[in-house]
Amino acid sequence: MEIHNKFELRKFVAPEFIFGEGSINLAGQYARNFNARRVLIVTDPGIIQAGWAKVVETSLEAHGIGFLTFSNITPNPKAEEVMQGAELFHNSRCDCIVAVGGGSSIDCAKGIGIVASNRRHILEFEGVDKVQYSMPPIICIPTTAGTAADVSQFAIITDSNEKLKKAIVSKVVVPDVALIDPTTTTTMPNYLTACTGIDCLVHAIEAFVSNASSMITDVHAMEAIRLASKYLLRVLREPNNMEYRTKMMMASLEAGLAFSNASLGVTHAMAHSLGGLTDVAHGECNSILVDHVLEFNFKGAPDRYARIGDAMGLNLKGEDTKSIKKSILAEISRLKKEAKINNRLSSIGIGFSDIPYLAKNAMHDICVVTNPRKPVEKDIEVIYEEAL
C-alpha cells in the first residue's frame, strides 16, 4: 500500500554542503566568499571546551575575518537566548553567522539570523512560511550525528514561559552552507552519540512513512536507515573509528535531507512536547518514545514499515504483517538496550498526571500533520502511558 501518489508535485530544498574530514577548516574561506567582515560564532560551552570553536576561530583569522562568540546556549535553546544573541549580532555590527555545535547551537543560530533580518521577537515566526526576510549568511558546522539542523528548514525554539517548543518551518531557515565534518563527532560522550544516533534513525523512519514523502526523500531516508542501523552500535564500541563516525554522519545528513523535505511524525510531536516541559535533550526524548509510537503507527503504513525493516537489515522473508511489526520492534529495543538507553518517562520525572498536558501540546505540534496515522488526543495519551 502506498500512502499517497508519489508523482505529485514535490519541492526539495537543501543547502550547499561540504562533507568530509577537515571541512570545518573551510569556515574562513566560506565566510570570505560571503564578504563577511565580522562573524558571530554561535556555539556552546561544551564545544568550546572540546576545541571546535577554536578551530573555527583559527580558520577565520587565517582569512583576516573578525569575530566574536556567543555561547550562552542551553539544550533546547530558549527564546531569550536567541534574542540575546540577536542583540549582540546587531550591536556588534556582525554580518555573518557561523554555528558550530549540536542542534541547540544551530537552531539558536538560525533564530538569531531570523531576528537579525526581521527585527521582531523570535516566537512571532512560529509556523510554516512565516519568515519574511532572508537571514544573514549562515554557515553551520554540526558536531553531533543526528540533529541535521545544518541542512533542514526547521528551527525549534523553546518558549520557557509556556514551557513549549515552537517550530519555525521555512525555506528561509535553510542555512547557506553546511560544513559536515565527522571528526567533530569524536568528542561526543557515548550517551550523546547513542541518543543523537537514535534521533537520526527516527528522522529517517518518520520521513519515510510521512504523508509528504517523495521519491527523492525516500532514497535518502532508506539509506539513512541502513547506515544508522548498521553503524550505531559499532561506533559506540569504537568511538574513535573514523569509518564508523563518517557513516553515522552520512546517515545524519541523509536523514536530514529526507525529513527537512518530507517532515516528521508523532514521535517528534511528542518529543517536542516532552522537551518543552522537562528540558530533557531532544535525542533522549525521541529515544524513549520511538518504539511506543511505532507500535501505534505501524498499521497506518505496514508496507512502508516492512521496507524499513529490510533497510534495518532484518530478514523478513515470509513473515506476515504481525510478525514484521514484532521483528522491527524487537530490533529497536535491542538497539536501545545495547546503546544503554534505558530511561523511561518515569525515570526522567514524568508522572501519570503530566500526560494530559503533554498530549494536548503534542496534538498541536506541526509534525502530527504528516504522521501516517491520524491520532486523537487519547491515542497520544496512551502512547505516553506506555512509555512511563
Site residues for Fe ion per CB under 5 A? 199
Rank residues 44 and 199 by Cβ distance to Fe ion and give the closer one: 199
Nearest to 208 by CA among 160, 285, 267: 267
88 or 285: CB nearest Fe ion:
285
- Choice between 199 and 223, CB closer to Fe ion: 199
Give, to the nearest 10 degrees, the angle between helix 242-262 and helix 190-209: 40
**Cβ 199 vs Cβ 146: under 8 Å:** yes
Beta bridge partners of 78: 158
Residue with smaller CB distance to Fe ion, 65 or 271? 271
CB of 34 to Fe ion, least distance (A): 28
Residues 6 or more apart in contact with residue 330 via CB below 8 angstroms: none
Task: Supply the minimum distance, in Å, between the C-beta of residue 140 and Fe ion.
Answer: 15
CB of 201 to Fe ion, least distance (A): 10
Closer Cβ to Fe ion, 199 or 365, answer by number: 199
Least gap, CB of 259 to Fe ion (angstroms): 8
Residue 95 or 199 with smaller CB distance to Fe ion: 199
Using the minimum distance from each CB to Fe ion, give the nearer residue, 39 or 253. Answer: 253
C-alpha distances in angstroms, 328 versus 37, 205, 292, 319?
51, 12, 12, 12
- Look at residues 155, 111, 158 and name the one whose alpha carbon lies nearest to residue 260: 155
To the nearest whole angstrom, how small is the minimum distance from the Cβ of residue 103 to Fe ion?
A: 7
Instruction: Tell me how far apart the alpha carbons of residues 327 and 365 are, in angstroms, rounded to a whole number.
Output: 30
Cell of 317: 522473508
> CA 138 → CA 61, 114, 246, 304, 325, distances in Å?
18, 11, 23, 36, 42
Name every residue whose Cβ is closer than 8 Å to that of residue 248 and which is 6 or more positions away in sequence: 145, 182, 185, 193, 197, 200, 227, 228, 231, 232, 235
Smallest Cα–Cα separation from 293: which of 314, 275, 268? Answer: 268
Rounded alpha-carbon distances, angstroms, from residue 165 to 75, 135, 269, 276, 381: 12, 21, 10, 5, 18
Closest to Fe ion by CB, 55 vs 224, is 224
Q: Distance between CA atoms of 170 and 376, rounded to whole angstroms?
A: 27
Minimum distance from residue 234 beta carbon to Fe ion (Å)? 22
Least Å distance between CB 203 and Fe ion? 6
- For the chain, where are the E strands, in sequence order? 16-19, 38-42, 66-70, 96-101, 127-128, 138-142, 154-159, 164-169, 177-180
Task: Provide the minimum distance between the beta carbon of 305 and Fe ion in the complex, in angstroms, as a whole number.
Answer: 19
Q: Which residue in the shown chain puts its C-beta closest to Fe ion?
A: 199
Give min distance, CB of 284 to Fe ion, in A.
Answer: 11
Q: 41 vs 268, which CB is nearer to Fe ion?
A: 268
